[in-house]
Amino acid sequence: MGAHPAVHVRSSPFAIPTKKLAMWLFIIADAATFAACLLAYGFLRNGSLNWPTPFKFFPTVVNAMVMTFILITSSLTMFLGVRDAKNGNRQAAFRWTIITAIGGVIFALLHLREWMGLIGEGVSLFHNPWGNALFGASFFTITGLHLTHVTIGVIVLLVVGVRYKSGRFDADDLEITGLYWHFVDLVWMFVVPLIYLLNVSR
């Protein structure tokens, strides 16, 4: 016996799937977390007279450009995956989801390579060879928080992608995973100018 349409509308606030509403709530809360970190970083940077500006065009800024390109493009591939899922094309949706996850893996590897380079130059949480000791703490905390989100995103993409392909998850699940991935991309748009571009050496 099918339920009356009005019952469905009342059962989910704003007449959207409850899982999607929960993901939006999470995204807003997570945006507050990143905003708090970036505000704290801004306060530290402006309050410091010897804040270091160590990032050279090559390799750091070029690396950030490539990472930005990969992450923004992975948002497009994620969209294509969700689009195919909504159109009922499971195979194509799975393929785009895996391509998105590969983009995330490449992003994470490039990020780790950059971390290793900085650590090799003597940057740690509370020490660096250039100036204010908190530079390392703010850099590693904010980029580390973002990298954690990317890593979790890749794992979730793989799990949801495989389960979607096998029929255990539906297109809505892939769409909700996509919301998270787009959010990770969105945060990077604020991290790059504030953490990288404000600290380039001239």
Are the CB atoms for 82 and 174 separated by under 8 Å?
yes
Residues 3-32 that bind another protein (CB under 8 A): 5, 8-9, 12, 14-17, 20-21, 24-25, 28-29, 31-32
CA 46 to mean position of chain CA atoms: 26
DSSP letter assigned to residue 55: B
> Interface with another protein includes 183 (CB under 8 A)?
yes
CA distances 197 to 49, 105, 144, 150, Å, are 18, 23, 17, 21
Kindly determine how many residues on this chain lie close enough to bind another protein according to the rule CB under 8 A.
56
- Is 136 buried (19+), middle (13-18) or exposed (0-12) by CB count in 10 A? buried
3-state secondary structure of 163: helix
Among 59, 63, 79, 95, binds another protein (CB under 8 A): 79
By CB under 8 A, tell whether 47 contacts another protein: yes
Interacting residue ranges for another protein, rule: CB under 8 A: 5, 8-9, 12, 14-17, 20-21, 24-25, 28-29, 31-32, 35-36, 39, 43, 47, 61, 64-65, 68-69, 72-73, 75-76, 78-80, 82-83, 86-87, 171-172, 175, 178-179, 182-183, 185-186, 189-190, 192-194, 196-198, 200, 202
